[in-house]
Amino acid sequence: MKKLNLKLFLISFIAASQIVSAATAVFNVTVPIGTNACYIIGSFNGWDQAKSVKLTKVDVTRYTVTLNDSAFAAGVTLANMQYKYCSGPGDWAYVEKDALGGELTNRTFTSSPQSDVVAKWSMIWADIPPIPMNLTINVIAPGGTKECYIVGTFNNWAGPT
């Protein structure tokens, strides 16, 4: 009976220590006026736009989110994570820029709460559903071309299927 209690204790202790070891970090960001939404993407989610995390709006220019490193991609911790903000979901067209519209290096986490400022967006996302329409695209192709494919954000840049 004592061996069984000791095993249960050790299993419980290991499980509890794994839960306690998960770290959380608060991210606060100030964004330009006119921003409709704010998302964070980075190494923590494999830079996968489909997995970008929407921040909670605090007021007109401030957003916040708490991330838990237990959900991070393998090998990524708060100490080595990199990230960027986007004004919209699922597309790098909405990524943050410097004050002159230039590219930014990836941000790194320093302490919680992390306080960041976005100077400018490449584009501001507007939560407006697309207008359904028919579109004709004329393509000039070399002689002998049998098929031509088009990809873009409309099909998540997926190739021919």
Q: Output the pTM of the full model.
A: 0.69
Residue range 1-28: mean pLDDT, rounded: 62
Tokens found for residue 131: 């207008």
85-141 per-position pLDDT tens digit: 999 998 899 999 999 999 999 999 999 899 999 999 999 998 777 678 888 888 899
Rounded CA separation 102/99 (Å): 7
Q: Is the peptide bond before 113 cis (omega within 30 degrees of 0)?
A: yes
Structural tokens at position 126: 């507007």
**How far is C-alpha 136 from the chain's CA centre?**
33
Residue 41 has pLDDT above 80, yes or no: yes
Do 67 and 53 contact (CB within 8 A), yes or no? yes
**What whole-number percentage of the chain has pLDDT above 90?**
65
For a pLDDT cut of 70, what percent of the chain falls above it? Answer: 86
